[in-house]
Structure formats: C-alpha cells, structure tokens
Amino acid sequence: MIELHNVVKEYTNGKEVARVLKNVSFTISKGEFVAITGPSGSGKSTLMHILGALDIPTSGTYTLDGKDITSLSQEELARIRKSKIGFVFQAFHLLPRATVLRNVTLPLIYAGINREAREARAKQALLAAGLPEDHHLHLTNQLSGGQMQRVAIARALVNDPAIVLADEPTGNLDSKTGDLVLGTFQKLHDEGRTVILITHEPYVAEHAKRVLIIRDGELVEDRRNAHPRRQPESI
Amino acid sequence: MNISDLFEEIWLGVSSNKTRSGLTMLGIVIGIASVIAMLAVGEGSKAQIEANIQSIGSNLLMVQPGAQRGAGMTVSSGRGSSQTLTREDATALITLDGVSTASPEINSRQQIVAKGTNTNTSIVGTTPSYVETRNLTVDTGSFFTDAQVTSRAKVAVIGPTTQTDLFGEGVDSIGQKVRIKNMEFTIIGVTKAKGGSGFTNQDDMVFIPISTMSTYFTGNNFVGTITVKAIDQASMATAQTAITNTLLGRHKIADSTLADFSVLNQSDIASAASSATQTFTILLASIAGISLLVGGIGIMNMMLTTVTERTREIGLRQAIGAEKEEIVSQFLGEAILLTVLGGLIGIGLGFTISWGLNIFMGTSTKVAWSSVGLAFGVSAIIGLIFGYYPAKRAANLNPIQALKYE
C-alpha cells in the first residue's frame, strides 16, 4: 500500500546541503492506523509532505497504492493528491464565509464530480466525521474548533482517499475536543480506513496501533501498540 | 473542474469581499464611461458638422476669391481676402457643362433695425437664383425678382428667426420696413424654417438684391462667393474643371497654380471640418484611455493583494488536488469578471453621461456602437493582462509554504 524504500530528502540552501531524511524505509498496509512521531526538527513534517505527494524525495522510492510516485511532476502530484490523499491540517484550512457543505465538496469540484453526486457524498462524509445534518449549511466561521476539524476530516474523506493524512490534528484544540477528534480517527480506522497521524505528542501517538518514531531524519523505532488508548466517538 | 463550477468559484471569490471588488471595479467603470462619453462628444460634433454641411444643400461648389498676391510678392493675406470675383463671373458659370445654377453672394454682418427693436444678423446680397442653388423655400410673400436686382430695389427677404427677433412670434412682417445701415428696406418675403444650427443658420439671414448691396454697402462690383450647384453628384467633377478653366480664362491667368480663386466642393469643406473634430476626439479619448489604464493597474494591485491574502487558501486548494491551470483560471477569471462587470456598468454610465450632456448642456452627442464594442473588448483585455501576473503568481506558489503562510 505505502512503501518507502531508502527515502532521502535534501534541501540545498546556497552551498549547504541539509539532509532532512536519511534512508527512511517502511511499509504501511491498507487499513492500518499509524502515528508518525518525533520531536520538532526531526523530519516528520518533511516525511508527511512526501507521503502526501506535496513533495518528492531526493532519492529512494515511494510507492503509493501500487503506483511509483517518486519522481512525478507538480501537475502529476496534484492529480495523485486529488484522487488518493485526504489531508487534515492543524489549522483546519477551511474556506471562511463558505458553508460547511461547500467546504467538503471542494475536492470533488476539482475532481469534476457533478453537483448532486458531490453533495450526497459530502453529506455522507460529514456524518462519518461526526457532524450532524443541521450543521451542514452553517458558515464555517460560525463553528467551534472541534466542529471545524470535523469538517476538515469530512473534506479529507470525501474523495474516498487511499490514505487520510492528519498533521497535528489536535494541535489547535483543547484536550477534551482533541480527544473527541482522536475518537473520530479511531472510528474511521475501525471502518477500514488507512489513517496516518503526524504528531509530536506521545499522548496523541498512543491512540494509534502502530507508532513510527523519527529522530534526526532517521526511523529509530517502529513499534506495535498492543493496547491503544481509546476515546469515545461522540460530539 | 467543470466550467459552471469554475464560474461559481470565480463569483464566490469576487463577491466574498464586495466593498473591495466594488471599489476596484469603480476604476474600470470610470475609465470605460469616460471613453464612451468622450467618444460620443466627438462623434456628436462630427455628426453635427456633417448635418450642417448637408443643410447647405447638396451638389454645391463654392468659388472663393484666392489669396491676394502682388507681383513677385510672397506675402499672402490668406484665402478669400482678395476681391477677384465679379457678378459677371457668376453669370458666365451658369451655362457651363454640369452646372445647374450659380449665384453670386456678398455676405456682411449688420445691425438691422425695426420699429423699437434691432438685431445683428447676416445680410446676404444675391440674385433670385439663390433660391434654387440653396434649396430655399419662401413661406410667405416672394423672393425678389431679376427686375428688382436690375433696379437696385430696397427690398429684403428675411429668415423666420430674424422675423421672430424683430417682430415677435407669429407676426406677419410682409410690407414692414426695416433699416440696414440707415437705409430703409421693405420686407417682401419670409423664408420657410429650415432648421440647422451652428455656423450656417439659414433661418437667421436677410437676403437683399446683390446690386443693392454692391451699390450702397460695398461700393464695388466684386462678390464674396459664388455658389454653384452642379446638376447631380456625378457631374461635380466636370463642373469643377469647367469652372476653373472658365475663370482662369476670364481672369487671364495661364498658370493654374497662380489662380486668384479656389473652387471647393463639399467634401473638401467636410474633411477640413472633420479633421479638426478628429484631433479633438483623439485628445479626449486619450485622456479617458489613461484613466482606463489607471483602472487596470488598480485591478492588478487588488489581485496581488488578494493572492497574498488568500495564500493559505491557495495552498489548501493545491493540497486537495487543484492543478496549476485551475488556479490560474480562477484568479484570472476573478480579474476578468471585475473588468467585464465594470465595463458593462461603465457602458451604462457612459450612455447616461452622454445623454446628460445632450439634455442639460446642449452638447450634441452620439454613442457609436463601435466605441461600445471597443470599450467592452478593452475592459476584458485589461482584465486578462492585469490579471495574468497575479494569477500566475498564485499558481506558482509552493503548496507546502502556502499552507504554512501566516
């Protein structure tokens, strides 16, 4: 499903070459719930960018869903993101002054899906993310942080992606709301989704079934979490 | 992305900040409206000049005295300044090929006095053939006759405007006496209103026998102009050549470049007049064009601000799969929507302004459809040109940096 083999990422700044990722290799299968964690500056953000097809590795290979996407152009990467990846960001990144429903349908607009189909799918995704129907026509700037993140999760789900990639999804939320959002991810995993959480908080990482720890650009630990912390999925 | 969805995205982008979009559009609105109004003023004055020239009568040739030139002298007093044409010249022209009639004219502005009132108007000394040459119609009374010309009768035919000025509205002035240069004239006819305004208002004129004018006013036999009416449009050229040759012969001039007269046809007069208005129109339109350019720069400025402000949104769109082309289309579309909308409002405003100028200022205006099309095209192109750079900038943002932008 996801296969990284000796992935290296280097950034050149003038004459200095910074090696942010050093020979990272791992495999994530379909339906796994994985947390990628590490201190800030460890390279986990860079890893997320590569996993999310926002960037390409300097060397090594990355295979997503059977397709080698190591050296695609920006345009080809955009198409991969459109069809295979759902992002959830720390800062939500919702369109203000637009309805919840519209925010969720946005990926389907770029995918060229017609209006009825995309609204039906958006409603389904919103319910799956735990936002009841009476909120669907609210403007996003009227929502609470937890509700906003649910909208963002629904938007990540709506194009039925191969992976849901969440970058510090609880970073902007209070701990109670954060727990509820983590519960939502657990529920998605229970339903068979592949979920990858990127977080620097060990507490958040404990909710996943598998934890990858990155330090100084290297994968230092790959551990199964036999008893993940459970959160109730409710609003 | 579907076209209809693209339009919706564009509309939502523009309408989400109505004040700013409106103000940006205002630049284009003012630019387009001024271009249209200014071109309408130019077009209107051109049309008016054409109408004036038409109202003089068609198929007309004007013979004017040439510049006064002494032997070997290089100082010219200007066209029409000399006295070289006579009534006999006019008579000689009537029988030429292609000529229908010819009338000598002496023009003079004089004070004309009636009982208790007076006015200043144009006095034309001429012959009865003037009626035919200038398509004049006598409303009441009659025009003077050849016999009256021979006898230097002190009779006058006046225009309806002159009649109103001297005697008041609807008063029959036939038989009334008026004084011009302390000489008493009897009014024997009033011409029919012909309309027309500007420099040749034929309704405000007084016609008297040319012999009377020569004897009592100018004291010589020379005439100011000879107006020749050609048989039809096609015989204008023949007539013009015949007139030139005849007058050269009569004035004993061998070299036609030394002619002491000139023969002008209507298109000469029209082109002289329209080249003046052309210059004036170009001047007005270029000033308006500059305001349009400033409006375009306003669009670019606003689009750049928008792109910067919406960097995170652009990053998100890229993250969820928007391709470069789709980002370019959206932002370029927003710029074009603003200019096209501004252009449409500007066209409406331009029509209103030119209508207002016409109604309240008395300026004759005419909105040419070509200028409307031009203005609309220009506004769309401005959107395209000034929107392209900001849109390209948006599409070239790095999604990772755009998402992190604060």
**CA distances from residue B223 to A10, B103, B318, B368 in whole angstroms, order as listed:** 98, 10, 85, 42
Q: How many CA atoms lie within 13 A of B222 on its CB side?
A: 14
Domain boundary among B228, B249, B265: B228
Q: pLDDT tens digits, residue range A45-80?
A: 999 999 999 999 999 999 998 889 888 898 999 999
Distance of CA B128 to the CA centre of its chain: 32
Query: Among A169, A180, A160, A208, which Cα is nearest to A36's?
Result: A208
Inside any domain, residue B173: yes
Q: Tell me, what's the pLDDT at B388?
A: 94
Q: Cβ separation of A78 and B318 shorter than 8 Å?
A: yes
| Chain B residue with the nearest C-alpha to that of A155 | B320
Distance of CA B385 to the CA centre of its chain: 34
Q: Domain check: are B284 and B169 in the same one? A: no
What's the CATH number for A2-224?
3.40.50.300
Element spanning A80, H or E: helix A74-84
Q: Domain check: are B356 and B287 in the same one? A: yes
Q: Cβ separation of B320 and A97 shorter than 8 Å?
A: no
Cα–Cα distance for residue pair B251/A7, rounded to 1 Å: 105
Q: Tell me, what's the pLDDT at A233?
A: 64
- The region that residue A20 occupies, defined by phi over 0 for left and psi between -120 and 50 for alpha, beta otherwise, is alpha
Q: What is the dihedral of CA A71, A74, A80, A81, to 10 degrees?
A: 130
Q: Tell me, what's the pLDDT at B268?
A: 73
Contact A198, A168 (CB under 8 A): yes
Counted across chains A and B, CB pairs separated by less than 8 A come out at 61
Q: Cβ separation of A91 and B312 shorter than 8 Å?
A: yes
Structure tokens at B323: 């391709």
Instruction: Look up residue A201 and give its DSSP letter.
Output: -
What residue ranges do the domains of chain A occupy? 2-224
Inside any domain, residue B277: yes
Q: B interface toward A at CB cutoff 8 Å?
A: 1-2, 5, 9, 12, 16, 312-313, 315-324, 326, 399-400, 403
Q: Cβ separation of B400 and A55 shorter than 8 Å?
A: yes
Interface confidence, given as ipTM, is 0.93
Using a CB-CB cut-off of 8 Å, the residues of chain B touching A155 are 320
Q: What interhelical angle do B18-56 and B3-15 show, nearest 10?
A: 100
Q: Tell me, what's the pLDDT at B135?
A: 80
Cβ-nearest to A81 among B5, B12, B319: B319
Structure tokens at B160: 């309806």
Tell me the pairing of strands B177-180 and B183-191.
antiparallel
Q: pLDDT tens digits, residue range A106-145?
A: 999 999 999 999 999 999 999 988 899 999 999 998 999 9
Cβ-nearest to B320 among A74, A82, A112: A82
Using a CB-CB cut-off of 8 Å, the residues of chain A touching B324 are 74-75, 78
Element spanning B405, H or E: none
Cα–Cα distance for residue pair A211/A196, rounded to 1 Å: 10
Q: pLDDT tens digits, residue range A176-224?
A: 999 999 999 999 999 899 999 999 999 999 999 999 999 999 999 999 9
Cα–Cα distance for residue pair A175/A98, rounded to 1 Å: 27
Q: A interface toward B at CB cutoff 8 Å?
A: 49, 52, 54-55, 74-75, 78-79, 81-83, 87, 89, 91, 93, 95, 97-98, 106-107, 109-112, 114, 155, 159
Q: Domain check: are B206 and B304 in the same one? A: no
Q: Cβ separation of B400 and A82 shorter than 8 Å?
A: no
| Chain B residue with the nearest C-alpha to that of A108 | B1
State which residues form the domain around B211: 102-228
**Å between B288 CA and nearest CA of chain A:** 37
- How many structural domains compose chain B? 2
Instruction: Look up residue A127 and give its DSSP letter.
Output: H
**Å between A110 CA and nearest CA of chain B:** 5
Cβ-nearest to B320 among A49, A75, A106: A106
Q: Is the pTM of this model over 0.80?
A: no
Inside any domain, residue B253: no
Task: Find which of B320, B397, B403 to mutate to test the A interface (most A CBs within 10 Å of its CB).
Answer: B320
Domain boundary among B228, B263, B293: B228
Identity of the residue numbered B377: G
Using a CB-CB cut-off of 8 Å, the residues of chain A touching B1 are 109-110, 112
Q: Cβ separation of B1 and A98 shorter than 8 Å?
A: no
Per-residue pLDDT of chain B (406 residues; tens, 9 = 90+): 888 999 999 998 898 889 989 998 998 999 889 888 888 888 888 887 777 776 666 688 888 887 545 444 445 545 555 678 888 888 888 888 888 899 999 988 889 998 888 889 999 999 999 888 888 888 899 999 999 999 999 999 999 888 888 988 878 889 999 999 889 999 999 998 876 544 567 788 999 999 999 888 888 888 888 989 888 878 888 888 899 889 888 888 888 777 888 888 777 777 777 787 788 888 888 888 888 888 888 899 999 999 999 999 999 999 999 999 999 999 999 999 999 999 999 999 999 998 898 888 877 888 888 888 888 888 889 889 999 999 999 999 999 999 988 8
What integer is the mean pLDDT of A31-49?
A: 92
Q: Tell me, what's the pLDDT at B73?
A: 46
Helices first, then strands: H and E counts in chain B: 13, 10
